[in-house]
Chains A and B, each alone.
Chain A
Amino acid sequence: AQSVTQLGSHVSVSEGALVLLRCNYSSSVPPYLFWYVQYPNQGLQLLLKYTSAATLVKGINGFEAEFKKSETSFHLTKPSAHMSDAAEYFCAVSAFGGGSYIPTFGRGTSLIVHP
């Protein structure tokens, strides 16, 4: 079985500040991990994906995430927040051998950026 927990339904930062969105996963086999972004009234867009090639994954729009097996975490960061980063962010885990190839999504974290 696989699951993902996103800590904090809302995260508020000032423009220019560090963005940190937390994601912890549970999987009985080595997982694939994803971060998606959803702007208002739009579908989800893939930000980045971890596939075991490298623990630090760089994505679009300056975001990156680090896979930490010992902490079962895949937190999303960006050094400097922009107003345009305000959106909903979803973490997802996919772990074959756990019975399903379909990713399991977290409940999402809303990122609020203040001027």
Chain B
Amino acid sequence: SQTIHQWPATLVQPVGSPLSLECTVEGTSNPNLYWYRQAAGRGLQLLFYSVGIGQISSEVPQNLSASRPQDRQFILSSKKLLLSDSGFYLCAWSKRGGQNSGNTIYFGEGSWLTVV
């Protein structure tokens, strides 16, 4: 079966410091990968998605970036964090070609980021 893991689970970082959140998927090949952010009391905001190694699409312009160095690895980064970057970050995956069956998205456990 497929599993998705992301880490760290919680992170407290000062303003201006860098960020790296990592996500890996197991049990599948060539997945579509996603990063979402969930701010307190709000819904889900799609930040980035990737359909293959090195292929990243950005949905929201900001000081965050994403990379996909390997097929099942997705990394969310920032060079300098802002207070507004605080939130709950969720990595997710779906099957390649899964759009023919509705493109079900499966989520990781999430990472809490607090910028102080």
A→B interface (CB under 8 Å): 32, 34, 36, 41-46, 49, 51, 90, 92, 94, 96, 101-103, 105-108
Contact B106 A46 (CB under 8 A): yes
If over half of B's interface residues share one DSSP class (helix, strand or loop), that class is named, otherwise mixed; here it is: mixed
> Is B102's beta carbon under 8 Å from chain A?
yes
In this complex, how many residues of chain B approach chain A with their Cβ under 8 Å: the count is 23
Are A49 and B107 interface neighbours, CB within 8 A? no
User: B43–A43 contact, CB under 8 A?
Assistant: no
Q: Which of A41, A94, A105, A107 contacts B102 (CB 8 A)?
A: A94
Do A49 and B109 touch across chains, with their CB atoms under 8 A apart?
A: no
Q: Are A103 and B107 in contact (CB under 8 A)?
A: no
Given contacts A90-B43, A102-B46, A108-B43, contact A44 B107 (CB under 8 A): yes
Given contacts A41-B112, A44-B90, whether A32 and B103 have CB atoms under 8 Å apart is yes
Residue pair B107, A45 in contact (C-beta under 8 Å): yes
A41 to B108, CA, bound (A): 11
Known contacts: A42-B109, A44-B90, A102-B49. The answer to whether A94 contacts B103 by CB under 8 A is: yes
Residue pair A90, B103 in contact (C-beta under 8 Å): no
Chain A residues near B34 (CB, 8 Å)?
Answer: 102
Neighbour of B107 across the interface among A41, A43, A94, A107, CB < 8 A = A43
Query: What are 6 of the A-B contact pairs (CB < 8 Å)?
Result: A34-B102, A43-B90, A43-B110, A96-B103, A103-B103, A105-B43
